[in-house]
């Protein structure tokens, strides 16, 4: 009999449902057990975040730097611009709509303390460096190694990357459902969970609308460059969109994205270069989700925010996520440090961000890879590549 395999999204949804149901009847001692686990896990996550940034971002920048030429510069500029634009559209839309949809209330930290429950014990695991130091170190190593011919440090850095990926896959990702279960168990116990779930539903609906709007705009621009019907171009990319919905991986969808880009008239050389590269650096769908979710949670907690704060956050996030497609939940893992250092998110808010992001993970990936097809059309037109 074939064993039923539940994906990460299914596990997260089950964890939320169980946290809500059990939290309605759970005794205080049970809640304290999970508060203890969550405290230890959040300390480990805080310790791991700077290492995740260095281990994922530095090798990615180093590898991108190996390629040179006009097409690289054009593709990177368009992909980064598209990512930042999607983040700004998400922020401006959320800033206009969310205040009227989301009621500002107590912070999650205040909610946690309201029940007068505490972990049975705590373990302190200080990180080796702060988040900004990790980012600067990653950029310095990545750019420096891209300019060197030697392979010793590059190989060591790639080995470290594999250690980080193994840690994420074998320790952090498997424990995330239990961590989120504990968060929702505690929120239900103190009577705050239903208001938060209502916010979740509203955010997901708005993000999906933004997602569709971004794709239509991308292919309208691509259609203008290629002088082709943008709706036909977008329709041709639908196999890649639905493949990404199923795989939840930009990298796994590359073969389908390549074939559909060629059907849109992109030359084989341009498609073979831009599609794999954009699978790594073009994160429009991911950044719009993270930006909207972060803004919604800040409004819900009554935290101050402004355009300048989010502009800096979006610009940094567009760079930090360059290695995200190779790791399950990589985009949200890469963003945790910035959420903490630039937006002031505590551990409870980070856990909610993880739950929200993973609930929409496949749609963000689908938006990313479908947009890659639009970028390939634009780059092909700019560089003068044409099919025979």
Average pLDDT over all residues of the chain: 79
Q: Do residues 240 and 370 make contact, with C-beta atoms less than 8 angstroms apart?
A: yes
When pLDDT is averaged across residues 337-351 and rounded to a whole number, the result is 83
- Tens-place pLDDT, residues 36-58: 888 888 788 778 878 877 887 77
Selected residue with higher pLDDT from 106 and 140: 140
Give the Cβ contact number of residue 69 at 10 Å: 10
pLDDT band at 326 (very low <50, low <70, confident <90, very high): low
Selected residue with higher pLDDT from 227 and 102: 227
pLDDT at 92: 93
When pLDDT is averaged across residues 219-244 and rounded to a whole number, the result is 89
pLDDT at 113: 46
Domain extent listing, the chain: 8-382
pLDDT band at 89 (very low <50, low <70, confident <90, very high): very high
Per-residue pLDDT for 107 more than 70?
no
- Distance between CA 190 and CA 188 in Å, rounded? 5
- Nearest CA to 273 among 285, 294, 296, 257? 257
pLDDT band at 66 (very low <50, low <70, confident <90, very high): low
Q: Do residues 363 and 211 make contact, with C-beta atoms less than 8 angstroms apart?
A: yes
Any residues with CB less than 8 A from the CB of 285 and at least 6 apart, and which? 86, 211, 214, 363, 364, 365, 366, 367, 368, 371
Annotation: CATH topology of 8-382: 1.10.3860
Hey, CA dihedral for 90, 95, 97, 102, is it positive or negative?
A: positive
Q: Do residues 90 and 210 make contact, with C-beta atoms less than 8 angstroms apart?
A: yes
pLDDT band at 349 (very low <50, low <70, confident <90, very high): confident
pLDDT band at 216 (very low <50, low <70, confident <90, very high): very high
């Amino acid at each position: 009999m074939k064993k039923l395999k539940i994906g990460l999204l299914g596990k997260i949804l089950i964890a939320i449902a169980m946290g809500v149901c059990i939290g309605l009847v759970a005794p205080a001692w049970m809640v304290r057990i999970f508060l203890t686990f969550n405290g230890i896990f959040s300390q480990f996550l805080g310790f791991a975040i700077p290492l995740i940034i260095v281990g994922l971002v530095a090798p990615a920048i180093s590898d991108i730097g190996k390629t040179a030429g006009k097409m690289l510069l054009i593709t990177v500029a368009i992909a980064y611009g598209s990512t930042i634009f999607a983040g700004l559209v998400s922020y401006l839309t959320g800033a206009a709509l969310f205040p009227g949809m989301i009621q500002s209330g107590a912070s999650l930290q205040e909610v946690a303390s309201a029940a007068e429950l505490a972990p049975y014990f705590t373990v302190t695991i200080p990180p080796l460096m702060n988040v900004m130091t990790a980012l600067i170190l990653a950029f310095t190593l990545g750019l420096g190694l891209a300019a060197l011919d030697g392979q010793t440090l590059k190989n060591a850095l790639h080995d470290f990357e594999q250690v980080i990926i193994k840690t994420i896959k074998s320790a952090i990702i498997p424990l995330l459902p239990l961590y989120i279960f504990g968060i929702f168990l505690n929120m239900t116990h103190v009577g705050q969970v239903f208001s938060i779930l209502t916010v979740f539903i509203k955010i997901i609906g708005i993000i999906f609308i933004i997602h569709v709007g971004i794709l239509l705009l991308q292919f309208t621009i691509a259609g203008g460059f290629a002088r082709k019907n943008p709706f036909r171009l977008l329709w041709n990319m639908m196999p890649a969109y639905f493949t990404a919905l199923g795989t939840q991986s930009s990298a796994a969808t590359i073969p389908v994205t390549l074939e559909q880009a060629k059907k849109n008239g992109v030359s084989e050389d341009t498609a073979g270069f831009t599609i794999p590269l954009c699978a790594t650096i073009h994160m429009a769908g991911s950044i719009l989700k993270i930006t909207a979710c972060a803004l919604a949670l800040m409004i819900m907690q009554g935290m101050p925010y402004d355009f300048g704060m989010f502009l800096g956050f979006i610009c940094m996030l567009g760079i930090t996520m360059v290695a995200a497609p190779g790791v399950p939940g990589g985009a949200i893992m890469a963003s945790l440090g910035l959420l903490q250092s630039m937006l002031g998110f505590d551990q409870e808010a980070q856990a909610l961000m993880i739950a929200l992001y993973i609930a929409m993970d496949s749609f963000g990936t689908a938006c990313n890879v479908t947009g890659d097809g639009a970028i390939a059309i634009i780059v092909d037109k700019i560089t003068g590549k044409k099919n025979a």
